[in-house]
Amino acid sequence: MRLINTSTYALHQSNEQEVFTSPEYAILSHRWTGSEVTFQMLSSADWRAANLHGPAMRKIRDACTKARERKQPLKWLWVDTCCINKLDPEELASSLNSMFEWYYRATVCYAYLSDVEWSPSRRQMSKTLDEAAQKDKDRPNQESVWFERGWTLQELLAPRYMEFYDRNWNFMGTKESLADFLESVTGIAKSYLTGASDFRQASVATRMSWMAGRTTTLAEDIAYGMLGLLNINMTIYYGEGPKAFMRLQKTLMENSTDETIFAWTAPPKGLACFRKHSQTPRWSPQSWGLLAPSPDCFSKYRDLTVLPDLYVPRLSGGYRFMQQGVQFQMPMKSGTELTNFFGLPRKDVTLPLNCWRTADDGKLYNVNIQLSKDGAVYKRIGCDDLVQKKGSKPKTNSVMGVDQVITRPLTIGQPDFVIPLK
């Protein structure tokens, strides 16, 4: 990890023990523009001398000033544009997997909204945003593009203390004081923003829904920007495009038993996360596999939960990813869920998931998905909706007077994205 000296603007390695007398540092969250200072620029003393008071350094210079002017001044600042040598693939990969931790460990995170001019009347601004949010609850119009970027999601959630500033570095408020406003814009519950609840305890579907509609410059960063939120690490490959999101889900399956990852539907507005990329994948919303093609598929499912008291362990190894797709252990009452009276495979079956929703009537509903036989494997059908069944008792079979959950394996095929050739 490299840090900027807030007085000299020189870069230093964090393992230089003689330099770092205190581990405290500030960190910057911002939206990249066309003229950002790179590692190669800032590491050159000649470049710093020639450009210190120029427009390119303004954002870094102002952030350093804020850090120095604190009641307890901070000597160090981290900025993603210039503290990582992006020409070194190994360093870049390590940094992307560490970035969530760096934002969490920072004494303060400065969120710089370069396209906002703050009005002293916060109440008026909140009202305007609330009205915009009512027009489209899944994707409200934002005051700042900062709220639409993929990387700023973890930069909003990871810091323990965060201050917001407008384009002129006027103080707007802290994450805690702006929590109601931030909840209305992002759809993230206030308790997660303030730290009253640990957002990592939210279901996978809930956390995926927070990324819905956000964009990144590179398609792969939709996946890499969620590593810290999902508490996983991945090998970084630039060049695979939207397939990185599929690999993210496979990695998550190896580290989690949260089945809300399979509870998604085709987004009515398409794969918005990839709308700015030339590698927008082709896929079939009518029939697909178990893994979603984009975080947009979770936009309607912020309320999905996993209830430990109702969770039914999947016997014989649970689920796993195979060459043909995902193999699931399906709970059954009898052998006829997968085969008919004559022992032949049923064409259509319903797969219950270990996740639930609470309906408007206050009753609990178990979430299921529809599958259809397709050769040697099943495929998911009806991807435009989830099947909700009242109640939550697992299917059991009485053996010698004792109710036992029985299972049969079934494999759901997982198609690959087809990236159109130009």
What pLDDT sits at residue 350? 86
Alpha carbons 205 and 307: distance in angstroms, whole number: 14
pLDDT tens digits, residue range 383-413? 888 988 876 555 554 444 555 555 677 888 8
What pLDDT sits at residue 396? 53
- The rounded radius of gyration (Å) of the Cα atoms in the chain is 24
- Report the percentage of the chain scoring pLDDT > 70: 81
pLDDT tens digits, residue range 156-207? 999 999 999 999 999 999 999 999 999 999 999 999 999 999 999 999 999 9
Alpha carbons 312 and 59: distance in angstroms, whole number: 52
What pLDDT sits at residue 236? 95
Range of 87-96, 119-128, 139-148 with top mean pLDDT: 87-96
What contacts 24+ positions apart, CB below 8 Å, involve 331-334?
A: 331/394, 331/395, 331/405, 331/406, 331/407, 332/395, 332/397, 332/406, 332/407, 332/408, 333/395, 333/396, 333/397, 333/406, 334/397
The mean pLDDT of 99-123, rounded to a whole number, is: 87
Instruction: Please list, in sequence order, all residues whose beta carbon lies within 8 angstroms of the beta carbon of residue 267, skipping any fewer than 6 positions away.
Output: 212, 294, 296, 297, 299
Alpha carbons 63 and 216: distance in angstroms, whole number: 23
Q: Is 300 left (phi over 0), alpha (psi -120 to 50) or beta?
A: alpha
The mean pLDDT of 86-108, rounded to a whole number, is: 95
CB of 22 closer than 8 Å to CB of 75: yes
Where do the DSSP E strands lie in 100-220? 108-112, 162-165, 171-174
User: Dihedral of CA 252/157/97/20: which sign?
Assistant: negative
pLDDT band at 58 (very low <50, low <70, confident <90, very high): very high
Q: Is 401 left (phi over 0), alpha (psi -120 to 50) or beta?
A: left
pLDDT band at 152 (very low <50, low <70, confident <90, very high): very high
What pLDDT sits at residue 309? 78
pLDDT tens digits, residue range 256-305? 889 999 999 988 878 888 877 766 666 777 778 889 999 999 999 999 99
What pLDDT sits at residue 181? 92
- Residue 196 structure tokens: 């009253």
pLDDT tens digits, residue range 224-266? 999 999 999 999 999 988 899 999 999 999 888 899 999 999 8
Bigger pLDDT: 140 vs 317: 317
What pLDDT sits at residue 406? 59
The mean pLDDT of 8-15, rounded to a whole number, is: 86
Q: Please, where are the H alpha helices in 187-226? A: 190-194, 204-211, 221-224
What pLDDT sits at residue 128? 34
**Pairing status of strand 162-165 against strand 287-288:** unpaired
pLDDT tens digits, residue range 308-349? 777 777 765 678 888 888 888 776 554 445 555 444 557 888
